[in-house]
Amino acid sequence: MSADAPSGSAAEEDPPPGQYWRDEPEIMHYGRVPALRPDRWTFAVGGATADGLEHTFEWDEILALPSHDLVADMHCNTRWSVRGLHWSGPRAADVIELAPPAPDATGVLVFAEFGYAANVPLADLGVATALLATSLADEPLTAERGAPMRLIIPHLYTWKGPKWVRGWNYLTPADEDLGFWEKRGYHRRGHAWQEQRYDYQGEHP
């Protein structure tokens, strides 16, 4: 297995370096579990957008995007991995197309409920396997799993894919905004197959 692959294919024989297989994802999150109503839910894209404006989408607008199925392994920085989870939802790339970044944007700060945020390179957010997942195993997400929507980027550690996601801000190289765990010394990218757990390891995008 190369250090850069896979970007989302499922059922790998071996987990990434330093990981072990478990049967189900452990339920982990920062703060309490929110009770979100889709009819009051919005998704915002701001920061260094191409037109300089913030774009806000209602729940129905997100659901109107094409839904894609993804079977992918999940990898947590706490060293557990789970094989072959079945997610469904629109691609993050479809939202990027609706609200594109400025030419000099290189990353995003993805934000969720209760002030949680995570840094993600724009190139990783735009891959075909990055989903704004609304279902797991053909069932709507539960609140504990991130309902109504969570970000899934299979080749990155799970802290890069917030539950209860509410949007992102595009970042340029001049921006120094850091997410919750990145402020605490975690890696700016977090590629599981390169074992990018902590900031001191370097090799930032």
- Does residue 201 sit in helix, strand or coil? helix
pTM equals: 0.89
DSSP category for residue 85: E
- How does pLDDT run across 73-119, given as a tens digit for each residue? 999 999 999 999 999 999 999 999 999 999 999 999 999 998 899 99
Q: Which residue has the higher pLDDT, 205 or 89?
A: 89
Closest residue by Cα to residue 158 from 45, 16, 11: 16
Closest residue by Cα to residue 60 from 41, 81, 36: 41
Query: Measured between alpha carbons, how far is 100 from 78 in angstroms, rounded to an integer?
Result: 33
Q: Is 118 exposed, middle or buried (0-12, 13-18, 19+ CB in 10 A)?
A: buried
Q: Which residues on neighbouring strands pair with residue 153, listed in sequence order?
A: none
- Predicted confidence band of residue 30 (pLDDT cuts 50, 70, 90): low
- How does pLDDT run across 134-183, given as a tens digit for each residue? 999 999 998 888 899 999 999 999 999 999 999 999 999 999 999 999 99
Token pair belonging to 49 = 């957008």
Please give the pLDDT value at position 5: 41
In CATH, the number for domain 39-201 is 3.90.420.10
- Predicted confidence band of residue 28 (pLDDT cuts 50, 70, 90): low
- How does pLDDT run across 43-68, given as a tens digit for each residue? 999 999 999 999 999 999 999 999 99
